[in-house]
Amino acid sequence: MPTPNKAIDTLLCRYGIDPRNDASVEQFFETLQKNFTEKEIEEIGDFLLAAESPKFDYVKMAASLPDIKADQKKSPPIPIHGAGTMNKTKLAATVALRAGLSKKVSAEVVDAVLDAIASSLRNSEEVRLVGFGTFSVSKRAARHGANPRTGEIIRTSASRQPKFKAGKKLKDVVN
């Protein structure tokens, strides 16, 4: 059952907790003292109090919340959509939930990011997202191959292929 308060949802999503998972929400609030200093807990409380203002900027304020202690970051985040494949629609929904945006706006943001990456690659520019990874373009030379059924020689033309190399932080999260 999702929490009715957008501020609490935003807070939970900031720390990778699915607000719809009651057990995870309870566990998060039970372990606040273990994961945060008293000053950080006060900052979280200030965030929740400030959220009552009609001009409250959820995205900006959520980014200013303290990070979980380093030893707590090693545990895998609780998946928002469960096991399976993350597609563009699920990615936009996750962005909406974590950033406190509408699904429509987050879908536009995801599309804009993907378009910007594709446009940069089209112009042979690298896209470096520090900690996440690097998108680049590699060139494949023309070559000759053989059709396995007939043995006929086939010429493959030169092409440009997109590449992605994961950054250290992404590798650490996966491992």
Looking at the structure, tell me whether residues 71 and 7 fall in a common domain.
Answer: yes
- Is the pLDDT confidence value at 133 over 90? yes
Per-residue pLDDT reduced to its tens digit, 145-157: 998 999 899 999 9
Q: Can you tell me the distance from the alpha carbon of 69 to that of 171, in angstroms, rounded to the nearest whole number?
A: 19
- pTM surpassing 0.75? no
Structural domain of residue 88, as residue ranges? 79-123
- Is the pLDDT confidence value at 3 over 50? no
Per-residue pLDDT reduced to its tens digit, 69-95: 544 444 444 444 455 688 898 888 888
Q: Is 1 exposed, middle or buried (0-12, 13-18, 19+ CB in 10 A)?
A: exposed
Looking at the structure, tell me whether residues 20 and 73 fall in a common domain.
Answer: yes
Looking at the structure, tell me whether residues 41 and 29 fall in a common domain.
Answer: yes
Q: Can you tell me the distance from the alpha carbon of 44 to that of 11, in angstroms, rounded to the nearest whole number?
A: 8
Looking at the structure, tell me whether residues 31 and 71 fall in a common domain.
Answer: yes
Looking at the structure, tell me whether residues 66 and 86 fall in a common domain.
Answer: no
Q: What is the CATH number of the domain that holds 133?
A: 4.10.520.10
What's the pLDDT at 2?
A: 39
- Is the pLDDT confidence value at 134 over 90? yes
Residue in the block written with tokens 């501020």? 7
Looking at the structure, tell me whether residues 129 and 117 fall in a common domain.
Answer: no
Looking at the structure, tell me whether residues 84 and 116 fall in a common domain.
Answer: yes
Per-residue pLDDT reduced to its tens digit, 111-122: 999 999 999 999
Kindly list the distances between the CA atom of residue 21 and the CA atoms of 92, 102, 112, in Å, as whole numbers in the listed order. 19, 20, 30
Per-residue pLDDT reduced to its tens digit, 8-57: 777 777 777 777 777 777 777 777 777 777 888 888 777 777 777 777 77
Looking at the structure, tell me whether residues 128 and 146 fall in a common domain.
Answer: yes
What's the pLDDT at 85?
A: 80
Looking at the structure, tell me whether residues 34 and 96 fall in a common domain.
Answer: no
Domain count, the chain: 3
What is the token pair recorded at 8?
């609490």
Looking at the structure, tell me whether residues 86 and 143 fall in a common domain.
Answer: no
What's the pLDDT at 34?
A: 74
Looking at the structure, tell me whether residues 68 and 3 fall in a common domain.
Answer: yes
Residue 2 vs residue 98, higher pLDDT: 98
Q: Which residues contact 8 (CB under 8 A, 6 or more apart)?
A: 19, 48
Looking at the structure, tell me whether residues 90 and 135 fall in a common domain.
Answer: no
